[in-house]
Chain A
């Protein structure tokens, strides 16, 4: 390829045609500051409205300053990224953004990880130069996400995630001039919209405009209540990301330290959502095999493909957007809810306590889990199966509040019985993992043979939509995988149009699966962090002694002592669910 010669800050650089000034500068170690710009490299997602003008640079021969993120290099171009004209202009732009931005940094939930705050610090802003009008929107609180749009800087990242990546279409820029802000239609509250609570808007918001509903205080109160037994479950994706909140390298596995921290926090039992993931495989895998076997025998009434149902953002998505297809997903509840249901029956009985006195907390990489555990169908007489779902970020806050020096904690093991899990369960945390876990168990049940090679490499990866055929001893099983709801929509549309040939499809709402969830430590656009987390998930799996869900001895005991067999009446009652048509017309707030 013919290369272009340019000069940035007097450095000669050769770049490929189509390279932006921002990327060219980055390649020689010049970090031009950005704010609205977001580039998720491994997913090919870019947001560059060139709206904030923080990245302006001077281009020789050009009258005005150019936004580096949206200006392509050309032969002979000469760029200056930090002369006095650029610095003054950049500073003025930032001061104007700050002129109507609330200055409650000390108590802002985003403090410490706010990109606007970091920028103000890096650029040495010591006073708010322009005192302008302040906006006063109402704060919008939903079961999972809080919108405090006084802090919105109109970077449009959330809008891009909601519309282009997730195709949910809840958020849009509305109004004009000073009043412009990102909001749902008719500025209604999120809980009246078709929001799935996937939390990807929160994951990319540079400021405190979009944050999660914080449940840490409820957890602290429950832990302090002597009449309550408080137990905790941790989702698989948390253990490969929590370390980042304590300065560790992305992809550091902190399972043992996390268990120690939770014990230090005062939880009576530290259990694992992975246990429930193994249980999910027993139920969902059985359902999958049942449908496939009936299909292969020529039963025309059976619905295929079967879709996974562990992801609450995805469940919300099809309830809102494809309600006519709600008989296709598996009826199996998510691992979080299976855990809660078993904890408040089987385990509460074992302890001899009432369900009201057992508090179940879950640590989740996800914000939709907050909504899921509040669903009416997951409660008995008003008492929820899972009391509080807190995010990975909230857990880090809890640990810091409890004066725990996370980095020097010893490794500890999960408690028994609901802390025991297999390698199949831990890979639930990444795209492709649920279906691989299901394949490991389904293969053995279907063929009656032992699966020697448990790694289904063909199901792994980061491509948006993947398809693979798994050989069940002569019977080819066609599997589809999608992450990101926009990609899920494509597969759903194919099913609707009768074009889908898959037997089973795994769907996760967030890019990368749960490792990229809306409750995870913020990646600030660096997707290599997600790649590192995914790698860590697979190494956690290969380090496990047992790697097939049906071989988990505590799962076997649970069935022998309590549930009977998969899809039994009791299992149906506790571990399965049904879906609702939520394709409601627009509701307008009075």
Chain B
């Protein structure tokens, strides 16, 4: 982890988000939510800004960020890949699909490839159980994915 400098404009936007929630400590989760959708992730510097504005310790903010799997301190890739691990997808072999993504991209779940192109995550049910197992890349949904089909999905974005 390194100290990442974020732009002055982003800092102002984060401060505005805090203000929107009246700088209330109890609104920390909401503030983190909104900030993550603005910045994409929650690096240390961002957590510090939030801790200052909500008047709570940065250790507390970090505690909440690390508790919820939704929050991340790692920037998402250009093409975020999510594999559904819901019951239907799971019984239809989602784990094997995930293993194949892990093998080809050579990153564990929750991480981003060094070139910043792909990030890998799991989610629970996208409401398309009929298409199980389901994989999402960004907003695009892929159904009935087999381990053999994984390399084709990746290829689609490799050139992009």
A residues apposed to B, CB below 8 Å: 163, 169-176, 180, 183-186, 193, 585-588, 590
Contact = CB atoms under 8 A, between A and B. Distances in A.
A440 B67 CA distance: 54
List the 10 closest pairs (A to B, CB-CB), nearest first.
A169-B57, A172-B59, A172-B63, A185-B59, A185-B58, A185-B62, A174-B63, A174-B66, A175-B66, A176-B67
B57 A163 contact: yes
Contact of B67 (A170, A175, A186): A175
Contact of B59 (A169, A180, A585, A587): A169
B47 interface: yes
Nearest to A184: B59
9 contacts: A169-B56, A174-B62, A175-B66, A176-B66, A176-B68, A180-B67, A186-B62, A586-B45, A590-B2
B9 interface: no
Contacts of A183: 59
Nearest to A176: B67
Contact of A170 (B1, B2, B59): B59
Interface residues on B, range: 10 to 19
- The interface centre, meaning the residue of A170, A173, A193, A590 with most chain B CB atoms within 10 A of its CB, is A173
Contacts of B44: 185-186, 586, 588
Contacts of A172: 57, 59-60, 62-63
B61 to A, nearest CB: 7
Contacts of B99: none
Interface of B: 1-3, 44-45, 47-48, 56-63, 66-69
A590 B62 contact: no
Contacts of A174: 59, 62-63, 66-67
B1 A590 contact: yes
Contacts of A586: 3, 44-45, 48, 58
A25 B38 CA distance: 53
Contacts of B57: 163, 169-170, 172, 185
Nearest to B51: A185
A186 B1 contact: yes
B54 to A, nearest CB: 12
A587 B48 CA distance: 11
A185 B61 contact: yes
Given A163-B57, A169-B59, A172-B57, A585 B48 contact: yes
Contacts of A175: 66-67
A210 to B, nearest CB: 15
Contacts of B67: 173-176, 180
A183 B47 CA distance: 16
B2 A185 contact: no
A586 B63 CA distance: 15
A10 B79 CA distance: 66
Contacts of A587: 3
Contact of B63 (A173, A585, A588, A590): A173
A257 to B, nearest CB: 42
A506 to B, nearest CB: 26
A185 B57 CA distance: 8
A548 B3 CA distance: 54
Nearest to B62: A185
A283 to B, nearest CB: 35
- The interface centre, meaning the residue of B59, B66, B67, B69 with most chain A CB atoms within 10 A of its CB, is B59
B144 to A, nearest CB: 32
A86 to B, nearest CB: 31
B59 A588 contact: no
Nearest to B67: A176
A61 B67 CA distance: 35
Contacts of A180: 67
Given A176-B66, A185-B59, A185-B62, 18 more contacts: A163-B57, A163-B60, A170-B57, A170-B59, A171-B59, A172-B59, A172-B62, A174-B66, A176-B68, A176-B69, A180-B67, A185-B47, A186-B1, A186-B62, A193-B59, A585-B48, A586-B44, A586-B48
B50 to A, nearest CB: 12
Contacts of A185: 44, 47, 57-59, 61-62
Nearest to A167: B57
Contacts of B69: 176
A588 B48 contact: no
Nearest to A163: B57
Contacts of B48: 585-586
B79 to A, nearest CB: 27
A570 to B, nearest CB: 43
B132 to A, nearest CB: 27
A588 B69 CA distance: 21
A183 B67 CA distance: 13
A588 B2 contact: yes
A184 B59 CA distance: 5
A446 B58 CA distance: 47
A173 B58 CA distance: 12
B146 to A, nearest CB: 31
A170 B45 CA distance: 16
Contacts of A169: 56-60
Nearest to B60: A172
A183 B61 CA distance: 12
B53 to A, nearest CB: 15
Contacts of B63: 172-174
A172 B60 CA distance: 5
Nearest to A169: B57
B147 to A, nearest CB: 28
A101 B58 CA distance: 28
Contacts of B45: 586
A269 B69 CA distance: 60
Nearest to B65: A174
B110 to A, nearest CB: 13
Contacts of A585: 48
Contacts of A184: 59
Contacts of B2: 588, 590
A526 B2 CA distance: 44
B4 to A, nearest CB: 10
A193 B66 CA distance: 18
Nearest to B56: A169
A332 B84 CA distance: 64
Nearest to A587: B3
Nearest to B59: A172
Contacts of B56: 169
A589 to B, nearest CB: 8
A383 B56 CA distance: 40
B35 to A, nearest CB: 16
A173 B1 CA distance: 20
